[in-house]
Structure 1
């Protein structure tokens, strides 16, 4: 496995910024951006109407039976939530003003128990520092059976504690999300919809400290992490 030197990391980050979204590469020597692995046939979502969210049927069936969220988001402002995991509870503040459709989808899936018993399937420990979750199949290919547009300002940053959506390209959001446990440079292509508190970020950093199951910089966490429930 090639040595990850500081100069190599800088080249990686520049390549990410230039290339944008990349496909999930599993346990490669260089971690890719936090992406879903999605079929090329997946349907692109329609434009979001004013005041309403549009959730379009995806290119494959849902990983679990689930209803699409309502078109009109109910939550506003800062919404407290708890992601209960096998490693400890993660306290999150969701931003329903900046990402209303994303928060609407996340809360709808949580209410339906979609995340319950799911495994966080991906950890990266070099170049980018994220734990990726939200796929009931734990393969990186699962989703809720619908997709929806990005909610981006173009000024997104991915500091430690950031909660953001993984995707397979522009406007392909589904159920997969990632938690940033150390400051990470990524292009502003991933919808930010919440923030973990300091203690919860430390929990995720502790998971990352154990490394991946393969020992590489990108793969399943060595310490398995299961989401037990998401409540608000």
Structure 2
């Protein structure tokens, strides 16, 4: 009897072990199934988030053209819109119907220029007045853009940070391109954004064909063109931007100054 009882106990022990192993395998199978389900779910969520993020980025980040529009100031910080010129701004009559030629010297490189008082008499009068007074001597070309469709060098700031005198403002806009295209060699007037009377002392030289969308005020006054030495500006652009510049827009890697600007 004792032997039979031991055999029965041993049989029951083995059955319990088998049941325990079966339960363990079942639990492991359930866990693997849960893990696989979680992994698949996580992958699907990650994929959806990636698609959403990509769609969000590409629908909200500006294109080069939109970025150019966002940077439409092309000058010092925006001034409040006005509808009249500062007292010391010369009359457009002083340049109306005239053509001025001269030289702009940048870091000892000479750029030949032509300023058109027929299509942009007010802008031509301002540049002639400022150049005659020696205002631009020692001024900085503080901003350079280097994207495929937005290439310009902005000049005329009295400080490297691009600040300008907010008390010197004038307008209106003249000779702005209807198609928003500024061909290589264009000389145009910088201004504060959304302000037709936000022109100041600064101008920019386009060294590659550039597209600049209009803002609420319009485009940018084309006042003249480069007649020689555009390669001087192109070489400045080729040297690149200072570290930290974003979106192909910032200060030239080496400071650029105006040695002289003469018009006759």
TM over 0.5: yes
Asked if the contact 1:123/1:218 (under 8 Å) is kept, the reply is yes
Mapping for residues 31-180 of structure 1, pairs under 5 Å: 32-33=71-72, 35-40=74-79, 42=80, 44-46=82-84, 55-56=85-86, 67-70=88-91, 72-74=93-95, 76-126=97-147, 127-143=149-165, 145-149=167-171, 150-155=173-178, 157-169=181-193, 170-171=195-196, 172-180=198-206
| Greater CA drift, 176-185 or 148-157 | 148-157
CA deviation vs aligned residue, 1:53-96 (integer Å, no higher than 9, x gap): xx226xxxxxxxxx432453235343212112214111001111
| Greater CA drift, 123-132 or 203-212 | 123-132
| Greater CA drift, 80-89 or 139-148 | 139-148
Asked if the contact 1:87/1:225 (under 8 Å) is kept, the reply is no
Give TM-score scaled by structure 1 length: 0.74
Instruction: Flag structure 1 segments of 5+ consecutive residues without an equivalent.
Output: 1-6, 23-31, 47-54, 58-66
Please say which structure displays the higher CA radius of gyration: 2
SS of aligned partner of 1:151: coil
Instruction: Flag structure 2 segments of 5+ consecutive residues without an equivalent.
Output: 1-57
Q: Which runs of 4+ in 1 moved over 4 A?
A: none
| Aligned-residue offset at 1:144 | 6.9
Counterparts of 2:73 and 2:199, CA distance in 1 = 12
Compared CA separation, residues 206 and 153, structure 1 to 2 (3 A): closer
Counterparts of 1:137 and 1:14, CA distance in 2 = 27
Mapping for residues 191-206 of structure 1, pairs under 5 Å: 191-197=221-227, 199-206=228-235
Counterparts of 2:166 and 2:127, CA distance in 1 = 11
Give TM-score scaled by structure 2 length: 0.65
CA RMSD of aligned residues (A): 2.6
Q: Which of 213, 230, 236 is residue 207 of structure 1 equivalent to?
A: 236
